[in-house]
Amino acid sequence: PLAAYARKQAEFQQVTRINLLTDALPRALELGAVPEHNVCFVVYQWIEGEAAAESLPRLPAAEQYAHGRTAGQILRQIHALPQTKRVDSHAAIVQKVAVRRREMREHGLEFAGYETMVAYLEAHLDLLVDAPTVFLHDDFHLGNMLIDPSGGPRVIDLNRSNFGDPAEGLKRLSTVSRQ
């Protein structure tokens, strides 16, 4: 929707900056909007490659590990871009935890050890006070990576990118990559 234009603009600007450092992400080519259709978009350069989720299992463990390290280095480059935008990660996570707790309670999804887990989480939320603000891919997992023809990992699908604490960018890695 057109209401997402500011977010798309930030995505385009950040990816353009990253493109100066690495070719591991698709090159951002154009930011646009079509008001009469209520859409906005970023056009990216096509990247040749095979889905990492399909190609990595066929590789020896040492090569899988090497690709994982390279992907981590790419993520580090993304997070290392200096930012002027500031996000209060502590307040955002406190709000998210409260919403998730309410949803868990409403749907009867609490389980043995749930209160202990939440108490631990809440006792450590203060670690996020003054957390750095970085540009986040925010959907970083194996399904959003390709192995290019030269054998290198490439990161795609930045439509959920955002700003926040670097740890927040890893939230989907463990759940999505287990599929």
Secondary structure of 58-123 in HEC code, one letter for each residue: HCCHHHHHHHHHHHHHHHHHHHHCCCCCCCCHHHHHHHHHHHHHHHHHHCCCCCCCHHHHHHHHHH
Structure confidence at residue 24 (pLDDT) = 95
pLDDT for residue 174: 56
Residues paired with residue 154 on neighbouring β-strands, in sequence order: 146
Q: What is the pLDDT of residue 176?
A: 54
Q: What is the pLDDT of residue 172?
A: 63
**What single DSSP character describes residue 160?**
T
* Local confidence pLDDT in tens for the 179 residues of the chain: 899 999 999 999 999 999 999 999 999 999 999 999 999 999 999 999 999 999 999 999 999 999 999 999 999 999 999 998 888 988 988 898 899 999 999 999 988 998 898 899 889 989 888 889 999 998 888 899 999 999 999 999 998 898 988 887 776 655 555 55
Q: Could you tell me the CA-to-CA distances from 107 to 12, 67, 97, 98, 111 in Å, in that order?
A: 38, 39, 15, 14, 12
CB atoms within 10 A of CB 153: 23
The pLDDT assigned to 59 comes to: 94
- Can you give the pTM of this predicted structure? 0.80
How much is the pLDDT for 165?
87
What confidence score (pLDDT) does residue 102 get? 93
Question: What does the buried/exposed string (b/e) look like for 113-130 if buried means 16 or more CB atoms within 10 Å of the residue's CB?
Answer: eeeeeeeeeeeeeeebee
